[in-house]
């Protein structure tokens, strides 16, 4: 059964809900109400709901987020809900669960919400909380900041296997921050960009851990995103009410989902005899391409990918297969991923420019893909986009999820 994306909404990732005295429930409410308004679907038409979230128990001291969702409107009371956790891929896993229910014929119209509140604690505390997506007690024990340290280790691995030029990491960050200037809900949209921001300058661009500097890093934030998914019968009825053709409604053309062993060093050790640093990530992409009837990344019109760090974006580019393994620098140097390139990457601004509310990111990617292919992405629209691919990672690329959305 085909699963359609009727629409949705995200919160302003530049907004600090914590500073306003608002909690995770307010984030969820804003995203859900805006998504229902965008689609014209009433809360009484929602058959089930799924929430993606990583660490509400730590940041907000709040669990049972399905119950919070059911409290947002009287017509959501009694709706079956579930909460899903897969670190930074939590939102995508929630969306996968929702699509499976629709495909199984259990429900016709399903709401998916991704949410994370992360600006209500100091930075070092947030880093400690986020570190639980690594294997506690087994890796990064000496690191001050777990994730910059682990992804710096990925940069070291690329350097050892293939060589690595910092200029190519800068290109990844610049793509994001340049694109974010156009996005009215991006965390960095008001930043004044300069060459000094990307330099190897310990004041303008300080080292965070190892090889990674400030502008190599994605930005955690308060944020939520929500989408309404529907099966073909419900989508057809919805399209008729809206006066649009079902052919114009975005749908999920393909998906991929793989999970690797937890510890980063185990992943790296296991892959050293093969062409890919993260073979399961490549398999996730291939699964999505196969299900969507695509030959590869070049069949997409744009990408929304999980560049939590510049090296993560570089690694993802490597696994797209636009150049031989280890030669991701080639399409980067050719400008392939720029806004005016052959395959724009992260027109939203990505995790470095738009922001990264962990549990919301996968849902936000799916939403942005749907908006792009229906031609309603506003200032960040990629002209003529008909097929968008997402790639969302959790942990040290432990969980990998990709969606292909198209019309």
**pLDDT digit string, tens, across residues 360-392:** 999 999 999 999 999 999 999 999 999 999 999
Residue 332 has pLDDT above 90, yes or no: yes
pLDDT digits (tens, 9 = 90+) for 250-260: 999 999 999 99
Q: For 168-196, what is each residue's pLDDT tens digit?
A: 999 999 999 999 999 999 999 999 999 98
Transcribe 98-157 into DSSP letters: HHHHHHTTS-SEEEEEEEE--SSS-HHHHHHHHGGGS-TTTS-TT-SSHHHHHHHHHHHH
Q: What is the total residue count of the chain?
A: 407
Is the predicted pLDDT of residue 357 greater than 90, yes or no? yes
Specify whether the backbone of 203 is left (phi greater than 0), alpha (psi in -120 to 50) or beta.
Answer: alpha
CA distances 340 to 302, 313, 376, Å, are: 11, 18, 18
Cα distance between residue 190 and residue 155, in whole Å: 29
Q: What tens digit of pLDDT does each residue of 188-233 get? A: 999 999 998 899 888 889 999 999 999 999 999 999 999 999 999 9
Sheet-wide strand order for 302-305:
81-84, 48-52, 109-116, 223-230, 4-10, 251-259, 399-406, 387-394, 302-305
Whether the per-residue pLDDT at 298 is higher than 90: the answer is: yes
pLDDT of amino acid 201 = 86
pLDDT computed for residue 82 by the predictor: 98
Mean pLDDT of 299-319: 98
Per-residue pLDDT averaged across 51-57, rounded?
Answer: 98
Entry pTM: 0.97
- pLDDT of the residue at 105: 97
Residues 310-325: what's their mean pLDDT?
98
Task: Calculate mean pLDDT across residues 115-141.
Answer: 95
Q: What's the mean pLDDT when you consider all of the chain?
A: 97
Share of the chain above pLDDT 90, in %: 97
């Amino acid at each position: 059964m085909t699963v359609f994306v009727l629409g949705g909404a995200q919160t302003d990732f530049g907004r600090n809900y914590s500073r306003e005295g608002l909690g995770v429930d307010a984030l969820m409410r804003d995203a859900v109400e805006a998504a229902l308004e965008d689609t014209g679907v009433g809360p009484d038409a929602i058959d089930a709901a799924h929430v993606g979230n990583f660490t509400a128990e730590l940041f907000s001291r709040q669990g049972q987020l399905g119950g919070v969702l059911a409290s947002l409107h009287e017509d959501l009371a009694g709706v079956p809900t579930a909460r899903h956790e897969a670190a930074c891929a939590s939102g995508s896993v929630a969306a996968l669960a929702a699509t499976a229910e629709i495909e199984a014929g259990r429900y016709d119209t399903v709401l998916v919400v991704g949410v994370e509140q992360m600006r209500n604690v100091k930075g070092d505390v947030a880093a400690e909380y986020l570190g639980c997506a690594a294997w506690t007690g087994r890796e990064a024990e000496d690191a001050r900041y777990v994730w910059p340290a682990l992804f710096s280790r990925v940069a070291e691995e690329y350097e050892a296997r293939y060589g690595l030029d910092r200029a190519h990491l800068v290109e990844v960050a610049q793509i994001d921050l340049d694109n974010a200037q156009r996005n009215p809900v991006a965390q960095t949209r008001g930043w004044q960009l300069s060459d000094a921001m990307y330099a190897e300058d310990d004041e303008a661009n300080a080292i965070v851990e190892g090889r990674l500097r400030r502008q190599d890093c994605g930005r955690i934030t308060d944020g939520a995103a929500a989408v309404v998914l529907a099966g073909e019968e419900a989508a057809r009825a919805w399209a008729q009410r809206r006066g649009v053709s079902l052919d114009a409604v975005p749908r999920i053309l393909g998906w991929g989902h793989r999970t690797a062993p937890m510890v980063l060093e185990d992943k790296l050790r296991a892959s050293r005899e093969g062409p890919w640093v993260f073979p399961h990530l490549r398999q996730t992409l291939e699964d999505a391409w196969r299900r969507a009837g695509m030959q590869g990344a070049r069949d997409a019109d744009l990408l929304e990918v999980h560049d939590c760090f510049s090296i993560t974006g570089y690694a993802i580019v490597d696994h797209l297969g636009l150049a031989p393994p280890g030669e991701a620098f080639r399409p980067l140097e050719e400008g392939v991923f720029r806004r005016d390139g052959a395959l724009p990457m992260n027109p939203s601004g990505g995790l470095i420019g738009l922001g990264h509310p962990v549990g919301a990111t996968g849902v936000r990617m799916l939403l942005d893909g749907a908006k792009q292919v229906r031609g309603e992405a506003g200032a960040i629209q990629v002209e003529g986009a008909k097929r968008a691919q997402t790639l969302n990672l959790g942990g040290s690329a432990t969980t990998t999820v990709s969606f292909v959305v198209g019309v």
